[in-house]
Amino acid sequence: LSGAEPLIGVNAGEGSAAEAVAWIAYCNAPAASREGRLRAQDGHPVPYGVKHWEIGNELYGKWQRGNCSKEEYVVRFRAFYEAINAVSENRGLHLIANGGPHNDPSWNEELLKTDNDILGSLSRHWLNGANYPPLFSPAQSFDRIMADAWIFERELSELKKTMQSAGVREPHLSITELMVYLGEDVPKEISAIYPMAHYFSEVLFFSGVLHSAIRSDGFVDLITKSGA
């Protein structure tokens, strides 16, 4: 009813490109195919028609199994991209590359330098608030969260120009995680008074991000909402 579409991340950490191709076939291939028969046996003979696929998840982070360097990720992304597109039925899928963390522009720079010929969408995971100074008061945090949603519009414009300058033909940003999040180490008695997830402040933040995305003239092609 909402018109939302599924997004699936394939395992580009410890998984293989062949595994990703099989996973896509399970979701999208006709029921007469090998993977389609498996899906039918699991109760869904009609293909799901999943269009959006992210190649890995935060593989720049030590918290991820199979994490890697930026030099290794560009190799992995190309291998997965080529394997997926080698299957004619998969051409036209929306393949999303792991964009780097906000505090490390070199990750995206490596992607734009090495994979610009196949790159379309970069992902961004935005858990806003985790990098705020520890002495911020709740009021300061609220003001910063509200400002970040609007400052984001300028960041989008700058990133689009950077991707275009690198030779990306149809540059896009896919926001595949979005929430207000102050971090795991904030004591509960403190986090209870901060503008955290599920509070009205996050509704305002999310609305601001949506407005910035709408004004990006199609540069933001996807937003998914995360929540604790």
pTM for this entry: 0.89
Instruction: State which residues of the chain have pLDDT below 70.
Output: 1, 130-131, 133-136, 182-199, 227-228
Helices (H), the chain: 17-28, 34-41, 70-85, 105-114, 138-165, 188-191, 200-214
Which amino acid makes up residue 203?
V
- pLDDT, position 99: 96
- pLDDT tens, position by position, 174-202: 999 998 876 666 655 555 555 555 567 78
- pLDDT, position 182: 67
The tokens for 118 are: 């196949």
Sorted by sequence, the CB contacts under 8 Å of residue 221 that are 6+ apart come out as 94, 121, 172, 173, 174
- pLDDT, position 227: 55
- pLDDT, position 200: 75
- pLDDT, position 143: 85
Residue among 129, 177, 138 at smallest CA distance from 9: 177
Q: Rounded to 5 degrees, what are φ and ψ at 175?
A: -85, 100
